[in-house]
């Protein structure tokens, strides 16, 4: 009987021990795992009539892989596919890279970076739209750190690419000066950076080269940067011009009615506007010492996708709890007033302005306009030459414009390219065919050149372009003893179009004109095609770097940097400045406040006197 009691006691102990071991193992297993739920909304695709057989998930962290899909299911048939996945706790606080895939071969976000999601219990459920990048949560953005070794690798690749491929690296800054900046950049890269800090660091460094075509291109950044940094609701709720160093409101999207047109903003969050512009200027691209271009680029017009002020200002001077304190002066009464305005996204500002102001440009074709001012004068507005961004028939538009002019009594044509940075050279050539009165052989007084014949193998995985320019131009390159490769002179012939304008042409310019429009102004002035009127242009008479552009992608920060590979060397001594118009007429404070246009008034006076 004692033995029976003894063994039964041990049996109970064994059962209890087994129970506790099993429970503890289960609890430990749960503790050592993180479960995430993935949901993707496919309803937009279904509404397009797309037949979806299956939706899956692939990624870089086990149990996900890039080879085999983890299946997601639409259990209730509402077009949302979901599934849960368990990750080992060792991956907690690390980023999962992934993408959704449809029908085993159709990837989403083609040409975009991978999705990111922090493996963390607080991120257990994320609802996502197919083919739409997700905006990261604050906890994720804070955790997105680039380690020192990654920053240093990006630095080494950036320096090697610039020193190999950039034709104007030492055009406006000496090698000794730039080496000091390289040294400072390398030192800064020896510590970890957030994505925002890295973007600012590389932007400020690149601007020191003083090249108007070399910068971390806003449009070419990965969706991670565009959606999570550029598209945030941290923008000022008004647009403005910068005239004589003053920030003057042009359109107001805030609830503060006193921020009317012409109001001068003197301080934001207790920081003087003069100090804000001084801090922002080192981040803005321009050629050489053309500061007028830099300040022009810091204005906010609000059409298009991005503007420099909207990118850099919130990163350096963020709103406080989503609010900006704005100090201003009413231009009518001269009284100072203070406002607290809500920071908004660029898209929100555009939508509000479109509702309040009916004549603001919204689409590409809105940036091109034509009208008759009277029986003798017509006006053609061309605010961008970036025709690759649209399917709109811009050639047809120009053809119709000059067809109307041919049938009219107009003797004077005003062509307004103010605030047009540039774009396609094809637009310049097409426009000139309607302006020249006889065949013209155009030759620019610059020697185009490159600094290399082929891209080194160590850089080939980091740079790309829309065409293989290097191979195509290799046969034209001639080595010079000075250590560069020259290209044939830039020359082309322009034949007058059938509907070419036979009257007097006037080209309105300002500091924005720094690429294709810079050359348009140069050709118009050199060959007396049009009288150039307005403010000094952007660009630089000593030569700009443009032509073929290569895109450098830094592997750790994933930041993209535009790098032109064709430089231009002036054949005669030139000043470090833009093109001076035939008639210099500048925008004034009164112009902004009263909605006037002094350069236009000056042209109309010239026209009047010519009668």
Question: Quick one: pLDDT at residue 221?
Answer: 93
Question: Quick one: pLDDT at residue 507?
Answer: 98
Q: Check the CA dihedral 149-284-422-383 and report its sign.
A: positive
Residue 207 has pLDDT above 70, yes or no: yes
Residue 5 has pLDDT above 70, yes or no: no
- Distance of alpha carbon 275 from alpha carbon 295, whole angstroms: 13
- Distance of alpha carbon 470 from alpha carbon 592, whole angstroms: 46
Residues forming a β-bridge with 72 = 55
Residue 32 has pLDDT above 90, yes or no: no
Q: Is 93 left (phi over 0), alpha (psi -120 to 50) or beta?
A: left
Q: Which residues of 109-129 are buried (b: 16+ CB within 10 A; e: fewer)?
A: eeebbbbbbbbbeebeebebb
Q: Which of 531, 530, 520, 523 is nearest to 500 (CA)?
A: 530
Question: Quick one: pLDDT at residue 29?
Answer: 43
* SS3 assignment for 34-73: EEEEEEEECHHHHHCCCCCCCEEEEECCCCCCCCCCEEEE
Cβ atoms of residues 238 and 226 within 8 Å: no
- Distance of alpha carbon 256 from alpha carbon 337, whole angstroms: 11
pLDDT per position as a tens digit, 343-361: 999 999 999 999 999 888 8
Alpha carbon 255 to chain centroid distance? 28
Residue 478 has pLDDT above 60, yes or no: yes
Question: Quick one: pLDDT at residue 30?
Answer: 46
Question: Quick one: pLDDT at residue 14?
Answer: 57
Q: Which residues of 325-364 are buried (b: 16+ CB within 10 A; e: fewer)?
A: ebbbbebeeeeeeebebebbbbeebbebbeeeeeebbeeb
> What are the Cα distances from residue 205, in Å, to 136, 182, 216, 284, 459?
27, 8, 10, 10, 20
Structure tokens at 606: 């010239």
* Global pTM value: 0.87
Residue 398 has pLDDT above 70, yes or no: yes
Residues 6+ apart with CB under 8 A from 176: none
Residue 19 has pLDDT above 60, yes or no: no
> What are the Cα distances from residue 450, in Å, to 169, 199, 370, 489?
11, 28, 40, 13
Question: Quick one: pLDDT at residue 26?
Answer: 41
Q: What is the mean pLDDT of residues 553-580?
A: 96
- Distance of alpha carbon 8 from alpha carbon 4, whole angstroms: 6
> What are the Cα distances from residue 531, in Å, to 113, 308, 408, 602?
47, 31, 21, 12
Q: How many residues does the chain have?
A: 611
- Which stretch of DSSP H or E encloses residue 604? helix 598-610
Cβ atoms of residues 483 and 449 within 8 Å: no
Q: What is the mean pLDDT of residues 74-89?
A: 94
Residue 316 has pLDDT above 50, yes or no: yes
Burial category of 95 from C-beta neighbours within 10 Å (exposed 0-12, middle 13-18, buried 19 and up):
buried
Residues 6+ apart with CB under 8 A from 348: 233, 253
pLDDT per position as a tens digit, 499-524: 899 999 999 999 999 999 999 999 99
Most confidently modeled of 91-95, 100-104, 574-578? Answer: 574-578
Q: Which ranges in 306-455 belong to alpha helices (H)?
A: 308-316, 346-356, 394-407, 425-433
CA-CA-CA-CA dihedral for 182, 187, 193, 197, to nearest 10: -50
Residue 363 has pLDDT above 90, yes or no: no
Question: Quick one: pLDDT at residue 2?
Answer: 45
Q: Which of 247, 239, 242, 246 is nearest to 294 (CA)?
A: 242
318 or 24, which is more confident: 318
Residue 553 has pLDDT above 60, yes or no: yes
- Distance of alpha carbon 591 from alpha carbon 589, whole angstroms: 5
């Amino acid at each position: 009987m004692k033995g029976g009691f003894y063994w039964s006691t041990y049996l109970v102990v064994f059962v209890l021990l087994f129970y506790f071991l099993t429970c503890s193992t289960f609890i430990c297993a749960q503790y050592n795992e993180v479960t995430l739920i993935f949901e993707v909304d496919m309803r937009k695709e279904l509404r397009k009539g797309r037949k979806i057989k299956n939706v899956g998930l692939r990624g870089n962290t086990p149990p996900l892989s890039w080879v085999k899909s983890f299946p997601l299911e639409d259990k209730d048939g509402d077009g949302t596919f979901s599934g849960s996945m368990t990750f080992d706790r060792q991956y907690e606080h690390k980023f999962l890279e992934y993408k959704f895939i449809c029908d085993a071969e159709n990837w989403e976000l083609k040409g975009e970076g991978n999705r990111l999601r922090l493996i963390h219990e607080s991120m257990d459920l994320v609802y996502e739209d197919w083919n739409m990048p997700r905006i990261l949560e604050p906890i994720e953005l804070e955790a997105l750190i680039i380690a020192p070794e990654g920053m240093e690798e990006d630095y080494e690749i950036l320096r090697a690419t610039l020193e190999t491929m950039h034709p104007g690296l030492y055009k406006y800054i000496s090698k000794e000066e730039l080496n000091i900046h390289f040294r400072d950049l390398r030192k800064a890269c020896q510590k970890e950076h957030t994505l925002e800090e890295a973007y600012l660091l590389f932007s400020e460094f690149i601007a020191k080269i003083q090249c108007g075509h070399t910068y971390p291109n806003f449009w070419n950044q990965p969706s991670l940067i565009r959606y999570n940094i550029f598209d945030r609701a941290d923008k000022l709720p008004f647009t403005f011009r910068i005239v004589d160093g003053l920030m003057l409101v042009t359109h107001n999207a805030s609830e503060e009615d006193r921020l009317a047109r012409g109001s001068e903003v003197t301080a934001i969050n207790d920081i003087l506007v003069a100090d804000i512009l001084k801090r922002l200027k080192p981040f803005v691209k321009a050629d050489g010492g053309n500061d007028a271009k830099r300040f022009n680029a810091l204005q906010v017009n609000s059409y298009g996708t991005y503007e420099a002020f909207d990118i850099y200002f919130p990163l350096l001077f963020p709103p406080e709890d989503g609010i900006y304190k704005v100090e201003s002066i009413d231009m009518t009464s001269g009284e100072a007033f203070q406002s607290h305005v809500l920071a908004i996204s660029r898209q929100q500002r555009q939508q509000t302005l479109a509702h309040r102001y009916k004549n603001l440009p919204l689409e590409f074709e809105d940036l091109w306009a034509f009208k008759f001012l009277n029986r003798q004068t017509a006006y053609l507005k061309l605010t961008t030459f970036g025709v690759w961004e649209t399917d709109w028939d811009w050639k047809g538009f120009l053809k119709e414009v000059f067809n109307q002019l041919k049938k009219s009594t107009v003797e004077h044509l005003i062509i307004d390219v103010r605030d047009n940075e540039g774009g396609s050279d094809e637009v310049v050539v097409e426009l000139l065919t309607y302006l020249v009165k006889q065949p013209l052989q155009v030759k620019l007084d610059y020697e185009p050149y490159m600094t290399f014949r082929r891209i080194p193998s160590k850089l080939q995985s980091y740079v790309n372009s829309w065409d293989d320019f290097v191979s195509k131009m290799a046969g034209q390159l001639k080595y010079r003893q000075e250590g560069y490769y020259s290209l044939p002179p830039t020359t082309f012939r322009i034949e007058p179009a059938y509907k070419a304008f036979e009257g007097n042409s006037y080209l309105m310019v300002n500091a924005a004109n720094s690429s294709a429009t810079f050359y348009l102004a140069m050709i118009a002035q050199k060959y007396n095609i049009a009288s150039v009127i307005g403010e000094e242009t952007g660009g630089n008479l000593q030569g700009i770097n443009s032509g073929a552009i290569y895109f450098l992608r830094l592997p750790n920060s994933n930041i993209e940097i535009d790098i032109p590979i064709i430089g231009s060397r002036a054949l005669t001594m030139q000043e470090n400045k833009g093109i001076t118009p035939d008639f210099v007429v500048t925008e004034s404070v009164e112009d902004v406040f009263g909605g006037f246009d002094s350069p236009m008034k000056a042209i109309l006076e010239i026209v009047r006197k010519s009668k």
